[in-house]
A and B are shown apart, each in its own frame.
Chain A
């Protein structure tokens, strides 16, 4: 047996091992990555669903509140509360409390002095 042959027979194929190890690591990493991605996809999906539901709930609650406001502040309801419940402390304006201002006098002629309003009131 020659010296060369002895040396070559026991050599460890590091390059080959390294190649296969790398392939193995990449495959494992790829597999794990795929699983992780898949898991992330599901988790995100669940989060999306939860957020969608929350958003829908908020929209519904908002709309329900708007409906309630519309019902409570509608002209008919306010009148009802005013007339029957007495909840709105408003005093109806009766005709004896209304003064209709209208200028019934003819316009003054040039140079004419007209009585001041307070003088006329005391007439």
Chain B
């Protein structure tokens, strides 16, 4: 090889070596020093974090009837980076999505600023429509496939469904657009009902299809737990039907009915009016959403006399046969009236006749502090602890804030603010022998795998009165539901019913008691000897004649109808009838008056 040839070969070698050195340098630069940036760019365009949507837990009644569950839906999402023909796509999507064509074009043309590329890019994630029914989504998917259009995805979604519509709405509650519980059990049990979304890192090809072998880290979704309530839909149906009948008959401002199991404190049925449909809660006035059973504070009226009497009997200050002077209907010292003049009444008859003066004298004998103690023991002035949000504690003033006549007004249910649930709970204590039970609405919680993760056993808050005292009060309450008492119309044929009426005057804006606006109620239990349920019927401002607006005339018949149907539903065995138990037709309305 001559020198020229050698020189050429050398130059060529150097040139090639130089080229390879440059390539190698660039390779090292790309793979080592700029690796992070390019890896991020690649990940941004090909790797996505796919959410595995969890399902919200269901809510069931005690027998497993669904009260809230999920309907599978689809969310229609567009990836504008994959759209080739925006106009054609919009034309197909517009009728299915119900979005006008120009608006859809604007949506599909949305851009986002890419930090990596330092420029505006077509948006990779545009939500076009939420909660599209499965079948409609399938039709749309087929239409897109037929036209070979890419860039539209159907993500799994759910819609919360309440199969019973308005029934039990205040207990169940509803969820907002983000699937978060907003009222009732949905809100209170959010931590159990809400699932936990999982995720999966996936790579997709340029057509958007997942490359399954390149799946990255994956975490499975955890579905929400199922919450079973103590509510019995059979009883709830009875209550709702009778409440509707009462609403049609009396056109009140509001009404509440509660049925509770006295031995366990389980709430069997609860209904309020006005109500709403949780499936369509948009535009519902807040007033309709209120669970009045726990948020409304009312003066309980004469139903409160059970507390005073039980307290006096428990303290053994009196016995059921002790005679009390009822001042012939007017207690001048404290300006207190009875509806009928009674010279002397036994403690038993004070309840039967609902004498204001009689219970006032019992409370005076108890003394301020002792009486206050019993009121608090019966659960007034504190939250019951029921698993529903927004419960009021009620209002009971301590003795040092009382006026001179408070000790005579509170025993008959004035100057006391109580929620309907507190009144039922107090009556449960009378029905079960003196045990104040915490009201229960949740029976148990079962996770996605079928494991019971929480059980809500009956919980006794405290003992509030002696067995002898509650038995004596019960005996008097049985007679209240007789022609001698104020609630003869609460009688249920074949069963011994015990109960107490209440007629509370509402306060006028000027702070005085109204003579035209009343809250009438009846709270009772049956069968009286072994109660299967305690029921409260509370009707606010029934539109009836002034002379007929009494608990014994308005609320007691509603209880009677509920009691009869509930006894049939629960299979209660009729007991021998007490001759006192029969209702005499055509009784003078005045006989059922109380205060």
Contacts and interface: CB of A to CB of B under 8 A. Distances in A.
Interface string B491-509: 0011000000000000000
A74 B279 CA distance: 14
Interface residues of A, number: 30
A100 B574 contact: yes
B213 interface: yes
A2 interface: no
Interface in A63-100: 63-64, 66-67, 70-71, 73-77, 79, 95, 98, 100
A79 B212 contact: no
Given A61-B134, A100-B494, A104-B576, A75 B65 contact: yes
Interface stretch (A15-23, A43-51, A115-123): A43-51
A104 B577 contact: yes
B15 to A, nearest CB: 32
Contact of A75 (B210, B237, B574): B237
A107 to B, nearest CB: 10
B213 A70 contact: no
A103 B576 CA distance: 5
A64 B167 CA distance: 22
Interface in B565-586: 568, 574-577
A34 interface: no
A4 B495 CA distance: 129
Contact of B69 (A49, A59, A70): A70
A77 B163 contact: yes
B574 A76 contact: no
B213 A41 contact: yes
B575 A74 contact: no
B241 to A, nearest CB: 8
B65 A74 contact: yes
B576 A56 contact: no
Interface in A30-60: 41-42, 44-46, 48-49, 56, 59-60
A9 interface: no
B390 interface: no
Contacts of A56: 156
A57 B456 CA distance: 36
Nearest to A59: B72
B163 A76 contact: yes
B21 interface: no
A102 B65 CA distance: 34
A101 interface: yes
Interface residues of B, number: 32
A46 B212 contact: yes
A71 B134 contact: no
Contacts of A76: 163-167, 237
B66 interface: yes
A102 to B, nearest CB: 4
A100 B55 CA distance: 48
Interface in B119-173: 134, 156, 161, 163-167
Interface string B229-257: 00001101100010000000000000000
**Residue among A41, A59, A73, A76 with the most chain B CB within 10 A?**
A76
A74 B574 CA distance: 30
Contacts of A46: 212
B528 to A, nearest CB: 14
A63 B163 contact: no
Given A60-B134, A74-B65, A75-B237, A49 B210 contact: yes
B509 to A, nearest CB: 38
B211 interface: yes
Interface in B59-80: 65-66, 69-72
A74 B66 contact: yes
A66 B213 contact: no
B576 A63 contact: no
A109 to B, nearest CB: 17
Contacts of A95: 564
Contacts of B574: 100-102
A88 B241 CA distance: 18
B578 to A, nearest CB: 9
14 contacts: A45-B211, A45-B213, A66-B69, A67-B69, A67-B161, A70-B65, A70-B163, A75-B164, A76-B164, A76-B165, A76-B166, A79-B237, A101-B574, A104-B576
Interface of A: 41-42, 44-46, 48-49, 56, 59-61, 63-64, 66-67, 70-71, 73-77, 79, 95, 98, 100-104
Name the 9 nearest CB pairs between A and B, nearest first: A45-B212, A74-B163, A60-B72, A100-B494, A76-B164, A70-B66, A67-B71, A70-B163, A102-B574
Given A56-B156, A60-B72, 10 more contacts: A42-B211, A45-B211, A64-B72, A64-B134, A66-B66, A67-B71, A73-B163, A102-B574, A102-B577, A103-B576
